[in-house]
Amino acid sequence: MFNLENFDLRLDTEFIGRNFIYSVEVESTNSVLLDKANKFNIDGTVLLAEKQSKGRGRKERIWYSAKEQNLTFSILLTNKKLLSKNLNLLNFAASLSVALSIEKLYQLKSELKWPNDVLINSKKICGILLESTSQGNKIDRLVIGIGLNVNQSLFQGNFNAEPTSIKIETEGININREILLAELLNTFEGVIEKIPVSPDSILKDWKERCSLMGEKISITDNNSIKYGIFEDIDNDGYLLLRIKDKIERIHFGDVSTF
């Protein structure tokens, strides 16, 4: 069981997680916070669920998570000034915050994989999904869903990327989820505060942890596969793929080496 008191003692934020909702089970934390009918409107609201019956990742892929072992949660953002900025930066801010927290607490070297995965030893430890609703032509609420494998030791099924957890990578240490979540939210608030004043620093820190840059990669988007060199990430967060003597800007896709 998640200890709310221990978590609250370690949370050191102005608004992220100050409105905190704990649930034993929901269909999807993203769906709950996105639905205005549920009346969760406070900027920075965090919903943590021990189980998601319809948890999902990118492209509606199902996300499986052992109950009371991991951290599956969503963060609601409604600040219009922040939502008017480049949303890819919020995606990078989330994955970077996960990496920074893991590095600080457990001295594990993380890798960041475009567009939204966190890896350790080339195995997936965290996935992130951004979803939003709009009013007119402006986004009025954005939800960042994060699924982080913490204490799960066994993973059953077929996966696009081999999964791992912090417990596995620390050779069996039982991880305190309350400390980890508080550290992650503290870090995330600090990172997104840089978006209006120093967005380049977020991209720089993210790219330093992206080991695939400069490598030969394939990018799969539905039935289309492109091959080339991972040249860079541009200022808008899109992948620049070098195909022979041309640079192509990639908005979506699954990246693999070959």
Domains of the chain: 4-208 (3.30.930.10), 216-257 (2.30.30)
Is this model's pTM higher than 0.85 or not?
Answer: yes
Chain segment 42-76, per-residue pLDDT in tens: 999 999 999 998 765 555 556 578 889 999 999 99
Preceding peptide of 115 cis, ω within 30°: yes
Specify the range with the lowest mean pLDDT, choosing from 12-21, 111-120, 135-144, 179-188. 135-144
Burial class (CB in 10 A: 0-12, 13-18, 19+), 145: buried
Give every CB contact of residue 87 below 8 A, 6+ residues apart in sequence: 130, 132, 139, 142
CA distances (Å), origin 194, targets 37, 187, 191, 233: 32, 11, 6, 18
- Amino acid code (one letter) for 216: K
pLDDT score, position 84 = 85
Q: Is the pLDDT of residue 158 over 80?
A: no
Beta bridge partners, 239, equal 233, 250
Query: What digits encode the pLDDT tens for the residues 67-114?
Result: 899 999 999 999 998 998 789 999 999 999 999 999 999 999 999 999
Tell me what the mean pLDDT of segment 141-147 comes to: 97
